[in-house]
Structure 1
Amino acid sequence: MNPSQSKTALVVGAGIAGASVCYALSKQNIKTILLEQESSAAEKASGNPIGVVYPFLTKHKTLESEFSLLAYQYFLELWESLDLGKRVPHVDGIHFLLDSTSAYDRYSHSLHSHHIPETLACLSKEPNSNLDALLFPKGKAVSPVFLTKELIRIANPMEHYNSKLISWEVNEENGNLICHTEKEILYVDYLFLAQGYQFVMDPKLQWIPMKQVRGQIVRIPSSIFQNQFSILYGDYLTAEIGGERVLGASFDEFHLEEETRQKETFDLWNGLQTKLPNLLPNWKEIEIQNFGTRVSFRTQSQDRHPVVGKLPNHSLLDTSVKYQNLFRKNAKTFQIPYYETVGILNGLGSRGLTHALLAAEILVCDLLSQKLEISDTIKKALKPDRFLLRKWKRDELT
């Protein structure tokens, strides 16, 4: 019997991150419990009616762009192998507008520097504006709710809703984890923390520099616009799914109220009109105050990149080891201690749909010591360790 089959994992958070972890664990035949404090999956940031899937690219290769492109390709592979298109509402095709010289320079060069085939991305014209664009023919507008729930259905974890993780600790006798929820105590072998901005309630995570970001979208009846592909231009207008399109999204990291702001609806609408005036002949006749809206909160790390890896044990850090002394004779090296069976997947920001599946695969393989054909430098760039190392070099660890 595979030794993994006798192990149990607890995944906290039933958004796209947690669902992706559940799927990665299911491939390892690990018994999984999914814990969510809401009444069902995908009720928070993953609950928007439509989201977009496409990679983050830079003019020259960076670790971030390499990871994003790999994640995009991995998403497309799973989309085909799991036949997700049959169960997840979606529309293929994204035009990313190149509406400035610098944007054209960046993205046209990115195709060559990243060796991207035309089947994944190519230069094109956006038909409504006749502007230069980067076309992602397999990029997708998808329903995040359906995608999240379909991954959970495939993974088939035990689902515990309306229950919050209160605290967790390591059993010093056997190394297992004792997890206290609102309803029960769970004894597990692995713990995966993928609970988005709810991480602030866990004192073992509070050292990680992440914060909530508020985003507001506008829900537009499908009949108003006729664009067949989603259009990205700083903001975005999706293709039609389920009788509506989504215009989004505002961004606010300082004022986090849940109420809708009518000004943001008007700002998004005016921005769309300015960028794509040919989409409508009669902009002023539309009563945009009657459109539906949705506010959600995503989690963003200090450097805006995902946080993926084994969780460092901040309380066991040896802060007497100083970076300034590193090159002295017989200097002690800085070692990061870990909770060996606890992992974190967070800080996905606005790219959770694109990045979550590969990030989850990296995380699960890391905790299970499984080989994954991705460069160590890319995996290292995602680890939460990076924040400790930066603080250590600035002598800010306490």
Structure 2
Amino acid sequence: MALEPAQIHWQAQVPFATEFGDSYFSQQDGLSETRYNFLQHNQLGQRFAELKSNDKLVFRIAESGFGSGLNFLATLQLWQQNWAGQAPSAELHFISFEKFPLRFSDLQKVHHVFPDVAEQAAFLQAHYPPLLPGWHDLYLPQANVRLSVWFGDIQDGFKECDPSAKVDAWFLDGFAPSKNPEMWQPALFQNIARLSHAQTTFATFTSAGIVRRGLQDVGFAVHKGKGFGRKREMCFGQMAQLRQYSDKAPWFSRPSSVPRVQTALVVGAGMAGAAVAHTLAQQGIKVTVLDQADDIASQASGNLAGTLHPLITVDWNLRSRWYWAGYQATLRRLQPWLATGQVKGDLSGLIQLAQADGKLQHHWQQTLQRLAVPVSVAQWLASSEVQEKLAMPECPAGLFYPQSGWIYPRSLVETCLAHANIEVLCQQRVASWRYLDEAWQVDTQRGRFRADALIFASASLDNDINQTLQTPMRPVKGQVTHLSAEQVQTPLPLAVTHAGYASPTATGGYVAGATFEAPDMGTELSHAGHEHNLHQAQQNLAHWLKADAITEQPLQAGRIAFRPTTPDHLPVVGAVPDWGFVQHSYLQQSHTKAIFHYPAQHYQPHLYVSNGHGARGLLSVFLAADIIAAQLFNHALPLAQSLYHASHPARFAIRSWRAGKG
């Protein structure tokens, strides 16, 4: 499960992979080799220049070995030179696969050899992902560049690629076929062809017969060229005979392209709705946000503090990977806003206590070891170390997350909704909606609204909406307890989670919570709820509260909200299917046919949902917004294919049918 970092040794200024006995680049001039083999023979200079005069929105490059990132650095430099003095009108999306990623210290050492790309190397070093398996997305907004790196076996990475995100140019790198035969297999070439289009080009440093024949067999025209330096030959070419490949999960296939959206309606002014609204507004869409309450952030988004940390499990399961992608998406948004004070909170650390349960402590330690979790993500703290960080005696051991902490959700909602392209209207309960004359018409008790796209992010209490959308939401009541500084014995410097959580707040006080009370739908604060929250805090942080904070009667300060939860504890995100089509094309058909017999999914035009974020909304709402934006603008998905399927709105119906229960 854990990644195996590259083991390298140096000969002069050239790194060699110990396992493969091969160098990462030419011993003569690695940067010139990259420019000659990959940039020149894919004609990138010319093709980048042509983007200025055509309407192509994304230029996508994929490579078969990230290594030190030298190919990416050279490509990024050429991209920046192409757009010098002007904002890029297209996006560069660079995809790479790496089974044995370099440790950060090795990466720095390699980059030091190439001062010509020092500016680009500084970006990569600043954003280099932790060595955890799966996709990692890095963004350079000012250059309109996205780098997607897969850490793990390339064949597993290919399975997780968005099949609709076709590649324009391939860099077939990696170690020589004679030294790395495991990679240069027929499946590699088949997947390259599957992700290509009719104008896709490739270039590779090698002219080995297995590579030439493999590319020819899947439809590429292959040409030989003079090799770089001492190498006699290299290969390059273009797709000549494009073949059709069937979708492995047609019921989850992406929406087909539809007319470009200029306006959108978002129903819901909590974190989910605000994240979607801001993401679309950033793309130039005029957004109207409708909410039935008197004010924004009326449910859990109105709590005084919400905690944020990744979900790390010993098997790095589907939920862990989904929320890791969400964690990365959230940090990208929050870190700049926290730095400027637009959002209130603190992401300088969070402690997850293991309480006095020795079994749980062993499990967490085993998880860190098995996954080889980098200390930049999570680290184990003994009881004495936790006590030192919290300046508080008698604390149990636990996990410390250095880039995690607490956020004031309302400040996040306000920052998102303050965008100039967003208008917010409260006291607008949706009564009906329909698609009419290529636009969505929404009626509320106060008026009628029209827009090209409609997104529901209305949480769990809009039962009529959720039933119509077929989103299985279950509202779970949560009560939190508000505490003043005077009720605290020892100030809490960091957010702490245990069976519940305790956190500082933006007001100078603290919050403890939260209860999980289903199916109770009462809205009155209860003594029992406060006692539960304070008892949990006292059990785990014995010296945090004063004695009378627990015995004081009556306890009045607190808040109740309802979390929208789903049966599998993942949100429901993306384009809403045409449920009549789902019924006819899948649920009424045998579930045992060959995959190619089933048609691709059909969707209601530009109708989307972002719901079911439960208690982990801070981890998920921005990734959900990115998924919706990718579908709406026909961009590459911001997460692995299996994770996209895992949060698809049709997944519950499809799972039941595929299991023979439909």
- TM-score, with structure 2 as normaliser: 0.56
Match of 2:307 among 43, 49, 52: 52
CA shift for structure 1 position 389: 0.7
Give the gaps of 5 or more residues in structure 2.
1-54, 56-88, 90-257
Change (3 A) 1:39 1:5: farther
1:393 and 2:654 aligned = no
Residue in 1 that maps onto 2:456:
193
Which deviations, in whole Å up to 9, do the C-alpha atoms of 1:312-343 show, x marking residues without a partner? 22234334756883435899537643213111
Match of 2:352 among 66, 74, 96: 96
Between the aligned partners of 1:240 and 1:32, the Cα distance in structure 2 is: 31
Residue 131 of structure 1: SS of its match in structure 2? Answer: coil
Percent identity over paired residues: 24
Between the aligned partners of 1:113 and 1:199, the Cα distance in structure 2 is: 42
Match of 2:280 among 25, 36, 43: 25
Which deviations, in whole Å up to 9, do the C-alpha atoms of 1:170-219 show, x marking residues without a partner? 22xx4322222222222211111001124312266353221111000100
CA shift for structure 1 position 112: 4.9
Match of 2:439 among 176, 200, 207: 176
Match of 2:377 among 116, 120, 130: 120
- TM-score, with structure 1 as normaliser: 0.90
Which deviations, in whole Å up to 9, do the C-alpha atoms of 1:75-123 show, x marking residues without a partner? 2222223455512221332110123234334433444555543223211
Q: Which moved more, 1:40-49 or 1:285-294?
A: 285-294
- Does the 8 A contact of 1:321 with 1:332 survive in 2? no
Between the aligned partners of 1:148 and 1:328, the Cα distance in structure 2 is: 46
1:237 and 2:497 aligned = no
Give 1 or 2 for the bigger CA radius of gyration.
Answer: 2
1:246 and 2:501 aligned = no
Q: How does 1:133-144 map to 2 (within 5 A)?
A: 133-144=398-409
CA shift for structure 1 position 284: 7.5
Change (3 A) 1:140 1:275: closer
Give the gaps of 5 or more residues in structure 1.
none
Between the aligned partners of 2:597 and 2:363, the Cα distance in structure 1 is: 43
Which deviations, in whole Å up to 9, do the C-alpha atoms of 1:134-169 show, x marking residues without a partner? 111221222111111111113640111211221111
Q: How does 1:75-94 map to 2 (within 5 A)?
A: 75-83=330-338, 86-91=341-346, 92-94=348-350
- Does the 8 A contact of 1:9 with 1:33 survive in 2? yes
Q: How does 1:347-386 map to 2 (within 5 A)?
A: 347-386=612-651
- Does the 8 A contact of 2:564 with 2:613 survive in 1? yes
Between the aligned partners of 2:595 and 2:395, the Cα distance in structure 1 is: 65
Which deviations, in whole Å up to 9, do the C-alpha atoms of 1:274-311 show, x marking residues without a partner? 23223346458751533402111111012121111111
Which fold has the larger relative contact order, with Cα–Cα distance below 8 Å and residues 6 or more apart in sequence? 1
Give the residue type in structure 1 aligned to 2:386: E
Between the aligned partners of 2:649 and 2:359, the Cα distance in structure 1 is: 32
CA shift for structure 1 position 393: 3.5
Residue 621 of structure 2: SS of its match in structure 1? Answer: helix
Between the aligned partners of 1:238 and 1:140, the Cα distance in structure 2 is: 9
Residue in 1 that maps onto 2:267:
12
Match of 2:473 among 194, 210, 218: 210
Between the aligned partners of 1:113 and 1:104, the Cα distance in structure 2 is: 14
Between the aligned partners of 2:595 and 2:313, the Cα distance in structure 1 is: 41
- Does the 8 A contact of 2:483 with 2:509 survive in 1? yes
Give the residue type in structure 1 aligned to 2:457: A
Residue 238 of structure 1: SS of its match in structure 2? Answer: strand
Change (3 A) 1:281 1:326: closer
CA shift for structure 1 position 133: 1.1
Residue 273 of structure 2: SS of its match in structure 1? Answer: helix
Residue 278 of structure 1: SS of its match in structure 2? Answer: coil
Give the residue type in structure 2 aligned to 1:10: L
Change (3 A) 1:84 1:346: farther
Between the aligned partners of 1:98 and 1:40, the Cα distance in structure 2 is: 38
Between the aligned partners of 1:19 and 1:346, the Cα distance in structure 2 is: 12
Between the aligned partners of 2:477 and 2:359, the Cα distance in structure 1 is: 28
- CA RMSD of superposed structures (Å): 2.8
- Does the 8 A contact of 1:325 with 1:331 survive in 2? no
Q: How does 1:143-162 map to 2 (within 5 A)?
A: 143-154=408-419, 156-162=421-427
Residue 279 of structure 1: SS of its match in structure 2? Answer: coil
Give the residue type in structure 1 aligned to 2:444: T
Which aligned runs of 4 or more in structure 1 are off by greater than 4 angstroms? 1-6, 112-115, 283-286, 319-324, 328-332, 394-397
Give the residue type in structure 2 aligned to 1:27: Q
- Does the 8 A contact of 2:368 with 2:379 survive in 1? yes
